[in-house]
Structure 1
């Protein structure tokens, strides 16, 4: 035990560096857990990207969200048609189940 305390006192910088590395790793892991995921939906009659943005953009400015959808789905315009399959960027927080988001879409 005495040897361990002496080692720690003499090498405190190592413990500090280890703590910084672990903190950084935890931050990155937490950040990855909340990154964008994608949800595929079938467009219903009357759906618009603006309406979908109000339901799925989760704090992101709507025009940025719409630009992401257009890019993600390789659309040439912002027009969508009934029956099309569309990938939407959504945020899924860590610990939540992605099936919850899918159920929310079907219940509209």
Structure 2
């Protein structure tokens, strides 16, 4: 306890550095949830991005999948499993037509 009193500035510095490290760890945490898919014959990252990208651009989705699966050259092999971002596609009615039923 005497050491803390004598070295108050050093103690504050350590506490400040510790707080910054904790904050950076929380901020940089990957909050994206992932799901697994099996690669089929003829699949490419670009074609899969059209099916699973959600609100991301195709290039953003491909980049995320490459990083998550440690893919360097962009090639994927049929039968292998890929971990992909689990984004829900929004089901929007492009024509703005709403159907009513007699039961409602």
* Counterpart-to-counterpart distance in 2, 1:46 and 1:91: 23
1:73 has 2:65 as partner: no
Answer with 1 or 2: which has the greater Rg: 2
Q: 2:36 aligns with which of 23, 37, 40?
A: 40
- With structure 1 as the length reference, what TM-score do the two structures score? 0.50
Segments of 5+ residues of structure 1 without an aligned counterpart are 1-34, 94-108
Partner residue, 2:96: none
- Over 3 Å counting, the alpha-carbon distance change for 1:65 and 1:72 in structure 2 is same
Distance between the aligned counterparts of 2:48 and 2:32, measured in 1? 16
Kindly report structure 1 stretches of 4+ aligned residues shifted beyond 6 Å. none
Query: Could you tell me how far apart the structure 2 residues matched to 1:76 and 1:36 are?
Result: 21
Contact 2:66 2:72 (8 Å CA) reproduced: yes
Give 2:78's aligned residue.
Answer: 82
Larger proportion of helix: 1
SS at match of 2:86: strand
Report how many aligned residue pairs link the two structures: 59
What is the root-mean-square deviation of aligned Cα atoms in Å? 1.7
Q: Which runs of 5+ in 2 are unaligned?
A: 1-30, 90-104
Matched, 1:62 2:63: no
2:49 to 27, 49, 53: 53
C-alpha displacement of 1:92: 4.6
